[in-house]
């Protein structure tokens, strides 16, 4: 039990983070693409394509953060102070992003500042998430179970690159979502943008795949030990294949598959990073077993998860089903 519980919880939190990245990724992505049109109707259409979902999507971030505290309080207590500035930046940016959904409509016709808040908030939130991701990969200084580094340890060329990579990746999710959910000029422009973004994202993925093993021997060892390599080679190959498929589908008339392949790329990259760092929750020193909460706490919440998570997935699917199809103009409450 003592050994399995942290593994189960790591899987759960990984799932929550992955769902957050994909679901809120396209919300943030359409906002990142907001300045690429000046047309009012098109912006309405873009925002409406995510308006009924964004709140539920963002909740996965709360589950990711809350879940980390539930299951690995020690890791939560190290990561949050270590990334104090990017976490606060992300929270403030998400405030602007979140309220822009409502304020923009109420403030019309004087809503341009909220368009700016929507774009800037989403872009900064995405960039901060990339900084945190990069900072975790490069490692956190820990002493006596506490964060012991400096306030700007998270700011390095590598983390900035990860920040840019996440912005590009979310923009791609947003663009492929727009291909799926809208029609007309919005969808056409998104298709053009998606091609460039796809190339850029694949570039970032390749860069991270080279940079991390070169900079961290433990990651090189994980991937290139002969026994491991025999097992792990499908991950990069599959990622490249999904990139290729997304590229091909973007050049046809496909509406859903570009989005699906983009999700697959995200999933594979996420798995790849997990493989690089397992079993460390806070590389390079704190493992999931070091950071785990009391087994009783793990079990108590797992019981709830067993009942509630399927329900959450069910009614999340119900909401997406309710607002299925292309964006229509009649569903607002404004």
Partner 1 sequence: MVIDAFLLSRIQFAFTVSFHIVFPAFTIGLSAYIATLLGLWLKTGDAKFHLLARFWTKIFAVSFAMGVVSGIVLSYQFGTNWSRFSTAVGNVIGPLIGYEVLSAFFLEASFLGVMLFGWKRVPPWLHFLSAVIVAGGTALSGFWILSANSWMQYPAGHEVRDGIAYPVDWMKIVFNPTFPLRFAHMMTAAYLTTAFVVLATGARHLLAGHRTESAKTMVRMAILMIALTAPLQAVIGDFHGRDTATYQPAKLAAIEAHWDSSKPGALVLFAWPDEKAELNRFEISIPGVASLVTHGSMNALFPSLKDFKVEDRPPVLIPFFAFRAMVGIGVLMILFGWVGAWLWRKGTVFESRRWLWIAQYTWPAGFIAILSGWFVTEVGRQPWLATGIIRSADAVSPVTTLQVAISLALFVCVYSVVFTAGILLINRLIDKGPDEISGEDAPEQPSQRPLKAAQGEAAAIFGDGKPGDDKIQPAI
Positions touching partner 1 (CB under 8 A) are: 51-53, 55-56, 58-59, 61-63, 65-67, 69-71, 73-74, 76-81, 84-85, 87-88, 91-92, 94-96, 98-99, 101-103, 106-107, 145-148, 151, 293-294, 296-297, 300-301, 304-305, 308-309, 312, 315-316, 319, 322-326, 328, 330-334
For the bound state, the minimum distance from the C-beta of residue 306 to partner 1, rounded and expressed in Å, comes to 10
CB 238 within 8 A of CB 98: no
Residue number with CB closer to partner 1 (196 or 331): 331
For the bound state, the minimum distance from the C-beta of residue 307 to partner 1, rounded and expressed in Å, comes to 9
Sign, CA torsion 190/193/198/204: negative
CB 89 within 8 A of CB 128: yes
Rounded distance between C-alpha atoms, residue 190 and residue 170, angstroms: 13
Residue number with CB closer to partner 1 (35 or 149): 149
What is 113-131 written as a DSSP string? Answer: HHHHHHHHHHHHHHHHHHH
Indicate the Cα dihedral angle 51, 56, 60, 65, nearest 10°.
Answer: 100
Residue number with CB closer to partner 1 (3 or 318): 318
Mapping DSSP to helix (H, G, I), strand (E, B) and coil, where does residue 149 land?
Answer: coil
Enclosing H/E stretch for 281: strand 280-282
Residue number with CB closer to partner 1 (166 or 232): 166
For the bound state, the minimum distance from the C-beta of residue 288 to partner 1, rounded and expressed in Å, comes to 15
Rounded distance between C-alpha atoms, residue 128 and residue 126, angstroms: 5
For the bound state, the minimum distance from the C-beta of residue 223 to partner 1, rounded and expressed in Å, comes to 31
For the bound state, the minimum distance from the C-beta of residue 199 to partner 1, rounded and expressed in Å, comes to 30
Enclosing H/E stretch for 147: strand 146-147
By the 10 Å C-beta count (0-12 exposed, 13-18 middle, 19+ buried), 333 is classed as exposed
For the bound state, the minimum distance from the C-beta of residue 241 to partner 1, rounded and expressed in Å, comes to 30
CB 112 within 8 A of CB 34: no
**Angle between helix 257-277 and helix 234-250 axes, rounded to 10 deg:** 160
For the bound state, the minimum distance from the C-beta of residue 245 to partner 1, rounded and expressed in Å, comes to 24
Look-up: residue for tokens 């119900």?
Answer: 318
Residue number with CB closer to partner 1 (61 or 190): 61
Residue number with CB closer to partner 1 (244 or 300): 300
Residue number with CB closer to partner 1 (93 or 208): 93
């Amino acid at each position: 039990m003592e050994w399995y519980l942290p593994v189960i919880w790591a899987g759960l939190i990984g799932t929550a983070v992955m769902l957050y990245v994909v679901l809120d990724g396209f919300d943030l992505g359409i906002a990142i693409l907001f300045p690429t049109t000046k047309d009012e109707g098109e912006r309405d259409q873009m925002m409406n394509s995510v308006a009924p979902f964004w709140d539920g999507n963002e909740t996965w971030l709360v589950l990711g953060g809350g879940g980390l505290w539930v299951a690995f309080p020690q890791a939560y207590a190290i990561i949050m102070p270590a990334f104090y500035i990017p976490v606060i930046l992300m929270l403030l940016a998400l405030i602007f992003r979140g309220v822009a959904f409502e304020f923009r409509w109420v403030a019309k016709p004087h809503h341009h500042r909220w368009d700016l808040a929507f774009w800037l908030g989403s872009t900064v939130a995405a960039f901060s998430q990339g900084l945190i991701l990069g900072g975790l990969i490069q490692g956190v200084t820990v002493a006596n179970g506490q964060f012991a580094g400096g306030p700007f340890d998270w700011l390095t060329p590598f983390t900035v690159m990860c920040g840019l990579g996440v912005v590009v990746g979310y923009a791609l999710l947003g663009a492929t979502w727009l291909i799926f959910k809208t029609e007309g000029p919005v969808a056409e422009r998104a298709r053009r943008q998606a091609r460039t973004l796809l190339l850029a994202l694949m570039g970032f993925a390749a860069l991270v795949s080279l940079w991390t093993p070169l900079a961290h021997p433990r990651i090189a060892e994980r991937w290139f030990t002969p026994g491991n390599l025999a097992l792990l080679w499908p991950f990069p190959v599959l990622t490249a294949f999904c990139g290729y498929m997304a590229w091909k589908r973007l050049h046809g008339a496909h509406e859903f598959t570009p989005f699906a392949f983009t999700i697959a790329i995200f999933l594979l990259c996420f798995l790849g990073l997990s493989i690089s760092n397992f079993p460390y929750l806070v590389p390079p020193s704190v493992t999931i077993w070091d950071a785990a909460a009391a087994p009783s706490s793990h079990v108590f919440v797992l019981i709830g998860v067993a009942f509630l998570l399927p329900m959450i997935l069910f009614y999340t699917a119900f909401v997406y089903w309710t607002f299925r199809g292309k964006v229509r103009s009649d569903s607002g409450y404004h």
